[in-house]
Structures are given as C-alpha cells and as structure tokens.
Structure 1
Amino acid sequence: MSNLVIAIDGPAGAGKSTVAKLIAQNLNIVYIDTGSMYRALTYKLLKENIDLNNTSKIIDVLNSTKIDFRDNHIFLDDEIVDDKIRTNKINNNVSLVAKIKEVREKLVKIQRNISKNNDIIMDGRDIGSYVLPNAKFKFYITANPEERGKRRYKELIKEYPNIKLSEIIEEIKERDKIDKTRNIAPLIKTEDSIEIDTTNKSIEEVVKIILNYIEKNNY
C-alpha cells in the first residue's frame, strides 16, 4: 500500500473511535468507523423486527441494504444515521449481527475498497488482523472492563436515567466474550500491533502517543 493506512483495534468502550477521529483530523486523512456499519445494519434489523437468530432473513435484508460513508457520515439506504445507531439497544445486539459470516464478508469488502485509494484510519475489532492486514500502522487500544463500563455509563445516563453501572459492565464483558470467541475474524491483538492501555490515560495522551509513533516511523 502506497497510501497511509492506520488500523486501530480493541474492545468496546476503549476509546477507539474518539482517538481515531482526532488522529484523522490531525493528519487530514479519512476516518472510517467500521463498527458504525454493523450498527447501521443492526438498527435496520431491529427497526424491521427481524429475529437476530434468523441468519437467512438477516442475509436477505443485508442484500437489499446500502451502507456507505460520505463526508464523515454513515449512510443507511442513503439516510444519515449517525445518532440513531448509538443507543444501548444497538450496543447490546450489534455483536450478534457482526459475528455472521456473510455480514462480515460484505462489509469488509466495502471497507477494503475504501482503503485502496485513500489515506485512512480505520477502527474496529478485526482491522489489523483481517480487514487490513497490510496496514502500515497498527494499534490495539484497550482498558479494563470497569473503566470501559464507566465511560459507557456516562454516555448513556442522560438518556437512560435508570441504567445501572453494574449492568453496563456486565454487558461490556458479554460483548468482549462474543467478539473474542466468534468464528470469523475474532477480536485479537496482532503481533505487529502497538498496545495502548487507556485505563489511566486521557484521550489527548493516547492521541499524542500514536502521532509520535507515526512521526518517528517515517510518515
């Protein structure tokens, strides 16, 4: 790859998307949030009351669905759904959809096509290991479940005032289990990834670490 390609992987709530957006702004490159693509499909399936255990029906919906990025927005069937896909209901169901082989194959194809002609930073669960294994830079961003739960809790408490921190932490642990044990491209840290634990770090500190590493390695 002659263009700049940065892969960021890690579990839910580790800060991947926030960090990736800031890196993209600093380097003036395209940011692709792969998780939002799976969220968009999950949103449509839930909206249409599709049983998430009915794989054949999910594939039917997938084949008649258009998901893409334009101007840093996620589009579902030509509608911007940036905010609609960030609910707790989506959080708790997206891993069930993302583990389906046919879903991953189609969305990964879209992700790879975007990376061919753009300087990009892409974040998700399987970017460095599966989607873009030849990425020039790979980072694995993580944090302990308790810290990730606190971050999710702060995001959700205004919209869901009765939500409990303990429930969020358990949901995070369950998502981790699904993501790490799925048959297709599970969440792993590749040997060539730089691991950054964000538990006791600010977003600014993490961004600085990544930018410094990229600068020192000839970009």
Structure 2
Amino acid sequence: MNKITIAIDGFSSTGKSTVAKQLAKHLGYVYVDSGAMYRAVTFYAMQNGLISKDDFNVEALIFQLEKITISFKFNESLGFAEVYLNGENIEKQIRTLEVSSFVSKVAAISEVRQKLVEQQQKMGLDKGVVMDGRDIGTVVFKDAELKLFMLASAEKRAIRRFDELIERGDKVLYEDVLHNVVERDHIDSTREDSPLVKADDAIEIDNTDMTLEEQFDKILKLAKMTIEGLK
C-alpha cells in the first residue's frame, strides 16, 4: 500500500494531537507531535532560568540549543510516543499551563524553528507519517499529500483545555486558560518566522460542534481517499 505524509496544522487546543494519534494508529503510521518539541525547548528554557514572566534571554537559549536533544519513545501501555529531553521523560511536565504560556514566544525564535524543522523533516523522509503543529503543511512538508487545517472557536477550545487540565489534577481558572488560548493565537499568527496560516491546498476542518468520533471518521475518509488516489 502506498504511504503518504499527512500534515495537520491549526490553532492551539483544536484536537490536532488527538486525531493525529488516532489516524497514525489506524493507518500504522509514525506520529510526531511537533508542538511537543517546542514545548520541550520551552521546558529547557524554564528549567535553566532563561525565560520567565519578566525576562526572556533569547541569546542564551540560542547559544544552548546544541545542548538540547529531543526524542520520542513509544509507550505501549499508553499507546503513543512520549517526549524525552536529554534522555529524561518530560511528557507530563510539558503539558502544563505554565509551559503553554511561554511556548509561543520560544517557537517564534528563528534559530529554534530551524533546528526543529530539520529534525522533523528527517522524521518524515520515508513517508508514512502523521505530524501536527503550526507550520507542517506550509514549511516542514510543503509537498504532503494530505494537508488539514484545524480550527474551532476560542471559547470551545478553552473549555476543552480547561477540562483536560482539571482532569490531570492541575489547579487552573477557565479565564486564565481562555486568555492563554487567545494570546497564543495572536503570537502564532503574527510571528515573522513561519506564522500559523492555512496552506493553500489544505482542507479546513472546523470541529467546534463535532464529536471526536465525527472528526475522526471525516479525516480518516479523507486519508483513505488520498491513499486510493495514488494507485
């Protein structure tokens, strides 16, 4: 069977990772969470005192990029690959609202993007990959056979993210989560390097009023149609 590259872009908390994991598992493809890679760099910056609410030492982060090694290791019990930073499992640590509040600023740094895009492109050399992020269809895999662009209302996305954080045991306020969603939208869409935009050939998926099952069924149908079209 022909294998394709599936690029899923979109705003924060639109369920990109959820549907990408489902799709990769169903098709037997490799799943790569590019957003987790930017979160890992952000976590490194936080741990090393390079970023805070009042300061961001961009030069120091750029200088230390060579010290950062990011990898994914499949966890059979969870059914997906977890993120490792310099050999340490940081899957849970990078999913906090604090990391979310800084990640768009880190992702706007050109040197950071260059380093991670190179790694992402290597991961997709053999096709059979589902990757989600902000610039997968516009920068990382411009020739992807299937490109999707996910969106939903800010309020709906904030509710989803809030429920997810509460379920994890995090103590957060809905207003703070909504503020984070709106702020990230602005930073991601207006940054100079690889802003979040819909690729001309991407299919738009507005899942504001979709169930997870409806979303998966629609996207799986698109994937199968694309694969069939290559025969």
Matching of residue 61 in structure 1 with residue 64 in structure 2? yes
Runs of 5+ unmatched residues, structure 1 = none
The RMSD of aligned alpha carbons is 1.4
* Corresponding residue number in structure 2 for 1:105: 114
Q: Secondary structure at the match of 1:109?
A: helix
* Corresponding residue number in structure 1 for 2:225: 216
TM-score by length of 2: 0.90
Equivalents in 1 of 2:151, 2:179: separation in Å?
17
Q: Secondary structure at the match of 2:198?
A: coil
* Corresponding residue number in structure 2 for 1:185: 194
CA contact (8 A) 2:97 2:177 kept: no
2:170 maps to amino acid: Y
What count of residue pairs does the alignment treat as equivalent? Answer: 217
Which of 110, 113, 138 is equivalent to 1:129? 138
CA contact (8 A) 2:135 2:196 kept: yes
* Corresponding residue number in structure 2 for 1:197: 206
Cα distance, 1:74 vs structure 2: 1.6
Matching of residue 85 in structure 1 with residue 94 in structure 2? yes
Equivalents in 2 of 1:79, 1:200: separation in Å?
38
Equivalents in 2 of 1:74, 1:33: separation in Å?
9
Identity across the alignment (%)? 38
Cα distance, 1:118 vs structure 2: 4.1
* Corresponding residue number in structure 1 for 2:77: none
Equivalents in 1 of 2:15, 2:96: separation in Å?
17
Which of 157, 162, 170 is equivalent to 1:160? 170
* Corresponding residue number in structure 2 for 1:49: 49
Q: Secondary structure at the match of 1:217?
A: helix
* Corresponding residue number in structure 2 for 1:39: 39
Which of 171, 174, 185 is equivalent to 2:180? 171
CA contact (8 A) 1:68 1:75 kept: yes
Which of 99, 105, 113 is equivalent to 1:96? 105
Runs of 5+ unmatched residues, structure 2 = 75-80
